Each structure stands twice: as C-alpha cells, then as structure tokens.
Structure 1
Amino acid sequence: MIMIAGHVYVNPDELEAFVSEARATIPLARATDGCLFFSCAIDDPKEGSMIMLERWRDQEALSAYLAAPHVQALFAKWGSKMRNEVRKYDASNERAPLGV
C-alpha cells in the first residue's frame, strides 16, 4: 500500500480558489481503480496550508491517477504557485490503531 501525506502551501489569498479546484478532483480520485482513501482539508488559512491524505493499493494505481488529465491540469495551473510538502510512503503491517 502507498500512503500520500503532507501539506501544500499557497498564498493565503488564493487558498479558497486552490481548495475549490483541488476538492473538485476528489470524486475522480476516489473513482480511480486502486484508490483506497483520498481527502484534503484546510489546515491553517492564515498560512495558506492544506493537508493531503491518500491511500493507494499500489504504485501502478497512483501513477495512473497522477497521469490523468485533470490532475495534470491542476499541477500545470498551481504547480508554480504552491510549495508542495506532500510525501509518498510505502506502508505495511496495517492494523487498528488501538490494537483491537
């Protein structure tokens, strides 16, 4: 399993526009074969930060999503306007957080 987690930062004055466009891709991400979880949320409006959290079955599923035209368009428009501190993690040994 692949986990994607971290922050994206944009100019606070542009945060609402960025979040609106990013959230519009959520149904498309969730409909992608291999998407196990996909969510984003505003973290700190004053610093223009948004939290990203995703789970993917494998690298092939993630790569297919990242190659999709709507994802490429989002990065083409916002890539130079954002500081992307989102990272990819390989996950194993999945279990309930309380040991249940």
Structure 2
Amino acid sequence: MTSPLTYSAEAHNGRTKIILAGRVFVPPKLAEEFLDEIQATYPIAEANPGNLLIAFSLEDPEIGSLTAIEQWESQEALDEHLATPEVSKLYAKWLPLMRNEVRQFGIVDESPMTYTTGR
C-alpha cells in the first residue's frame, strides 16, 4: 500500500523526512479497541530502520478521536511499513469505520527548537 500523499525526496537530494500528524475518528465505543490494535503495530514500525517516531493517543473517548504523530526517514520507509501484512490488515479493517484527518508533510530542513525568555 502506498501513502495517498507523497513528497518527492529526489528533489531534495533524498534528505526529506516525512511527518504524519493529525486526528483519526472512530466510533466512540470502538476507540479503545482501535488504539490497542494500532499500538500493537508499534514493534513493526520500530523494526523499520526508517521509523523515527510513531505515537497514537486517545484524545477524546466521547467522540472517538485519537491523535497521531509519526516521523519517517523517507517515503520509501513509510511505504514499506504500510505494506506489511499486519498494517495492511489493520487498515483494511478500520478504514471503513474511520474518518482520517491525518496529514502528511515533507520536511526538507529541520533544526532544534530554541527557547528564549524574551528578555
């Protein structure tokens, strides 16, 4: 399975990182089940050397909203993850039940966040 949104790493010498961030909505009574199943895929993501971060959390159980954040070294690493049998099966089960508001961002340049006191 390939991601519905792609960003061309070739245009940036292959240095583009992929960030996925947003919300997923499932029927409220199924939110905990969805979270358990998605978290069960963490070891698969973490075994992929291109995975830098994956985290889902239950935001509002009353409306079935979850927050998602993922970071990948490349589009290829993300596509490899999505193509695993476990992740493919998970999405086949849940896509008809979810409203997916997760967005994909291509990051060409990054730097640490700095804090200032404003003084």
**TM-score class normalised by the smaller sequence:** over 0.9
Question: Any unmatched runs of 5+ in structure 1?
Answer: none
CA distance in structure 2 between the aligned counterparts of 1:12 and 1:19, rounded to whole angstroms = 11
Deviations 1:22-75 (A, max 9, x none): 110011111112001111111111110111101100111011011111110001
Alignment coverage as a number of residue pairs: 100
Instruction: Specify the SS of the correspondent of 2:109.
Output: coil
Aligned to 1:31: 47
Instruction: Specify the SS of the correspondent of 1:88.
Output: strand
- Spell out the pairing of 1:35-74 with structure 2 (5 A cutoff): 35-74=51-90
TM-score relative to the length of structure 1: 0.94
**Deviation for aligned residue 1:97:** 1.4
Instruction: Specify the SS of the correspondent of 1:2.
Output: strand
The question of 1:16 aligning with 2:25 is answered no
Backbone CA RMSD of aligned residues? 1.3
Q: Which consecutive aligned stretches of 4+ in structure 1 deviate over 3 angstroms post-superposition?
A: none
Aligned to 1:77: 93
TM-score relative to the length of structure 2: 0.80
Aligned to 2:112: 96
Question: Any unmatched runs of 5+ in structure 2?
Answer: 1-16
CA distance in structure 2 between the aligned counterparts of 1:27 and 1:67, rounded to whole angstroms = 15
Residue identity in the other structure for 2:54: F
Percent of pairs with identical residues: 41
